[in-house]
């Protein structure tokens, strides 16, 4: 059968030579180059494409639930967790005040699930629960956010109680280290972590518990799926996955492919758009403290509405060294000697076309890199005692910081700004169905055994793990029992993939490129302008 021609906006395969992520500097010896079996299995009950947080937790829920006795094969184009999860900014932070209420509850449950998962298993991923502070750098944005929080206080006080809008200048400049912010939103449920190590733990645990056998968990790295084909005439294994190393027949396929989804489902090229992010590990300025660097104490998002595009940067600080160091010890000749690297992502307003449509992560853009190195001085007080007159030990307070790592990663942006989770309707199959008389393509029961869990629009960490649980429940026809007699939060109905939703997304929402050009943001599921008409 002929391979479908590449369509406009379609992503390519992950690039073989990617930029070096900070999170990949300590790769798992068990996972690097791992292939559970020397050859690809001929067939499997379940095939998961992608080994990031979605694929890993889908395998976890599958093998620790209804799929325990099933054969599960995971195909990864590069090394395990070498895509967006291994390239993000290290945040796990629900955006409670901008989300639709149903989504806010789901994100909060996902955050708590990951927090408890890490604690119960003692996952060595540097999880640090610390408040998330969203700096609002322009009055237009303060007005939008304040109005929506006021609505939440009336309609959903349980969500509103989780966030605080701070306008007091002394508190902004002091405790929150934001001398130039107009206001800030403080969210108590937020964390920083080493995301690659979390996923590596999940995958290593699966490999240890389910060694090679008919019911194994079989991980195959460096095995890109080049084509997905619906097999004619097969009732038990209706899908064939083509790779450079051979083919695998699958009873059920889950695409955990995020920004690369359109490579295998070209019909979704206008629905899930690849978008490149850029991140830098910055050496903090030295200050007179025991560790030599300031303890920032919060994670941050910096929002602004400077035309023509808004600023959207995000920051965490790596843990400080436990060993005391000289107050002015330097790293690389500039920064403090107590660890505490600053992981800053963003700057898409400086990228080509806002980085929309970019699916290659083998380059960094110099203009974005220059922004990231210079963005924090003047915006974040990095002195030992915020708000004090004593400046950091630096030649100039506005001097750019030094970057020890700069890397890029590919996000999957959703046209209607909600994840796509569930059975892929027949209208989005990679090829016309061979039995159109029986496939309606309108249900969510998986008419062809093909499922998708992707498109988090740069916000996957507080979503993906339990979205993976939800899609596994759909795949297996099971439900998840709640703890203590309580039912877990359901997947938001607006995230479920249907043919009708595809039509609505195309009819009612701009393409991602047009959305970004207009300078919009989404609050409570609706697009709003970042800049007032005045």
Q: What CATH code is carried by the domain that includes residue 304?
A: 3.30.9.10
Same-domain status, 63 and 172: no
Q: Number of structural domains, the chain?
A: 2
**434 is a domain residue:** yes
Same-domain status, 427 and 505: yes
Element of type H or E holding 192: strand 191-192
Please give the residue range of the domain that contains residue 503.
26-87+196-271+415-509
Give 436's pLDDT tier (boundaries 50, 70, 90).
Answer: very low
Q: Could you say which of 365, 386, 412 is where a domain stops?
A: 412
Same-domain status, 429 and 373: no
Query: Quick one: pLDDT at residue 482?
Result: 60
Span of 360-364, 427-431, 527-531 with lowest mean pLDDT = 527-531
Same-domain status, 318 and 339: yes
**105 is a domain residue:** no
Tokens of 337: 């000697």
Round the average pLDDT of the chain to a whole number and report it: 89
* 3-state secondary structure at position 404: strand
Tokens of 76: 């990864």
Query: Quick one: pLDDT at residue 438?
Result: 41
Tokens of 508: 């009612």
Over residues 101-109, mean pLDDT: 96
Same-domain status, 427 and 490: yes
**124 is a domain residue:** no
**121 is a domain residue:** no
Query: Does residue 440 carry a pLDDT above 80?
Result: no
399, 378, 306, 410: which is closest to 349 by C-alpha? Answer: 306
Query: Quick one: pLDDT at residue 448?
Result: 77
Over residues 272-286, mean pLDDT: 97
Query: Quick one: pLDDT at residue 390?
Result: 47
Query: Quick one: pLDDT at residue 287?
Result: 87
Using one digit for the tens of pLDDT, what is the confidence trace for 449-507?
999 999 999 999 999 999 999 999 999 999 876 655 566 789 999 999 999 999 999 99
Query: Does residue 294 carry a pLDDT above 60?
Result: yes
416, 411, 438: which is closest to 355 by C-alpha? Answer: 411
**514 is a domain residue:** no
Same-domain status, 43 and 70: yes
**107 is a domain residue:** no
Query: Does residue 441 carry a pLDDT above 60?
Result: no
Give 323's pLDDT tier (boundaries 50, 70, 90).
Answer: low
**15 is a domain residue:** no
Question: DSSP secondary-structure letter at 328?
Answer: T
**161 is a domain residue:** yes
- Which residues are registered as beta bridge partners of 214? none
In angstroms, the CA 51 to CA 346 distance is 24
Span of 88-102, 171-185, 378-392 with lowest mean pLDDT = 378-392
Over residues 42-65, mean pLDDT: 97
Same-domain status, 361 and 283: yes
Using one digit for the tens of pLDDT, what is the confidence trace for 359-402?
999 999 999 999 999 999 999 999 988 766 544 544 456 789 99
Query: Does residue 314 carry a pLDDT above 50?
Result: yes
Same-domain status, 243 and 145: no
DSSP per-residue codes, 426-437? GGGSSS--TTTT
Query: Does residue 308 carry a pLDDT above 60?
Result: no
Tokens of 190: 């937020």
Q: Percentage of the chain with pLDDT > 90?
A: 78
Give 534's pLDDT tier (boundaries 50, 70, 90).
Answer: very low
Tokens of 43: 């067939």
Contact 59, 72 (CB under 8 A): yes
Give the start-end residues of each E strand in 371-512.
Answer: 403-414, 420-423, 450-454
Query: Does residue 64 carry a pLDDT above 70?
Result: yes
Over residues 287-310, mean pLDDT: 82
CATH number at residue 46: 3.50.50.60
Q: Percentage of the chain with pLDDT > 70?
A: 87
Question: DSSP secondary-structure letter at 366?
Answer: H
Element of type H or E holding 101: helix 101-121
Same-domain status, 157 and 293: yes
Query: Quick one: pLDDT at residue 399?
Result: 87
Contact 82, 18 (CB under 8 A): yes
Same-domain status, 407 and 456: no
Query: Quick one: pLDDT at residue 397?
Result: 60
Query: Does residue 6 carry a pLDDT above 60?
Result: no
Same-domain status, 405 and 423: no
Same-domain status, 466 and 321: no
């Amino acid at each position: 059968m002929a391979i479908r021609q590449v369509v406009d906006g379609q992503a390519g395969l992950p690039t073989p030579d990617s930029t070096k992520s900070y999170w990949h500097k300590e790769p798992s010896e068990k996972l690097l180059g791992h292939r559970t079996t020397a050859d690809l299995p001929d067939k499997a009950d379940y095939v998961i494409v992608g080994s990031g947080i979605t694929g890993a937790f889908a395998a976890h829920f599958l093998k620790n639930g209804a799929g325990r006795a099933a054969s599960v094969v995971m195909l990864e184009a590069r090394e395990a967790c070498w895509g967006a999860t291994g390239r993000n900014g290290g945040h796990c932070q629900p955006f409670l005040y901008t989300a639709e209420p149903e989504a806010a509850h789901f994100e909060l449950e996902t955050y708590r699930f990951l927090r408890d998962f890490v604690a119960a298993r003692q996952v060595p991923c540097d999880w640090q629960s610390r408040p998330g502070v969203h700096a609002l750098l322009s009055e237009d944005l303060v007005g939008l956010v304040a109005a929506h929080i006021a609505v939440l206080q009336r309609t959903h006080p349980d969500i509103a109680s989780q966030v605080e809008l701070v306008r007091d200048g002394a508190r902004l400049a002091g405790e929150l280290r934001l001398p130039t912010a107009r206001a800030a939103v403080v969210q108590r449920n937020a964390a920083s972590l080493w995301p690659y190590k979390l996923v590596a733990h999940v995958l290593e645990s699966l490999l240890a518990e389910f060694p090679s056998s008919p019911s194994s968990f079989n991980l195959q790295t460096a095995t890109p799926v080049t084509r997905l084909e619906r097999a004619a005439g097969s009732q038990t294994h209706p899908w064939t996955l083509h790779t450079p190393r051979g083919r695998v027949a699958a009873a059920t396929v889950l695409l955990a492919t995020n920004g690369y989804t359109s490579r295998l489902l070209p019909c979704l090229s206008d629905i899930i758009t690849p978008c490149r992010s850029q991140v830098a590990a910055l050496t903090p300025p030295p200050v007179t403290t025991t560790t030599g660097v300031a303890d920032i104490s919060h994670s941050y998002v910096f929002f602004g509405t400077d035309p023509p595009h808004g600023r959207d940067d995000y920051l965490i600080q790596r843990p400080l060294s436990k060993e005391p160091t000289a107050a002015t010890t330097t790293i690389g000749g500039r920064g403090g000697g107590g660890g505490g690297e600053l992981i800053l992502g963003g700057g898409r307003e400086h990228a080509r076309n806002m980085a929309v449509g970019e699916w290659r992560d083998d380059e960094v853009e110099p203009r974005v890199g220059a922004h990231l190195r210079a963005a924090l001085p003047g915006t974040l007080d990095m002195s030992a005692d915020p708000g004090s007159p004593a400046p950091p030990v630096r030649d100039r307070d506005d001097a750019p910081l030094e970057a020890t790592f700069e890397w890029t990663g590919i996000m999957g942006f959703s046209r209607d700004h909600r994840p796509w989770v569930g059975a892929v309707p027949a209208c989005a199959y990679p090829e016309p169905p061979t039995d159109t008389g029986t496939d309606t393509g309108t249900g969510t029961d998986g008419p062809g055994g093909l499922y998708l869990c992707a498109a988090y629009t740069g916000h996957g960490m507080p979503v993906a793990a339990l979205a993976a649980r939800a899609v596994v429940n759909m795949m297996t026809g099971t439900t998840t029992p709640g703890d203590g007699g309580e039912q877990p939060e359901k997947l938001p109905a607006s995230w479920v993939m249907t043919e009708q939703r595809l039509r609505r997304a195309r009819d009612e929402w701009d393409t991602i490129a047009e959305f970004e050009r207009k300078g919009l943001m989404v609050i409570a599921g609706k697009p709003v302008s970042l800049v007032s008409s005045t």
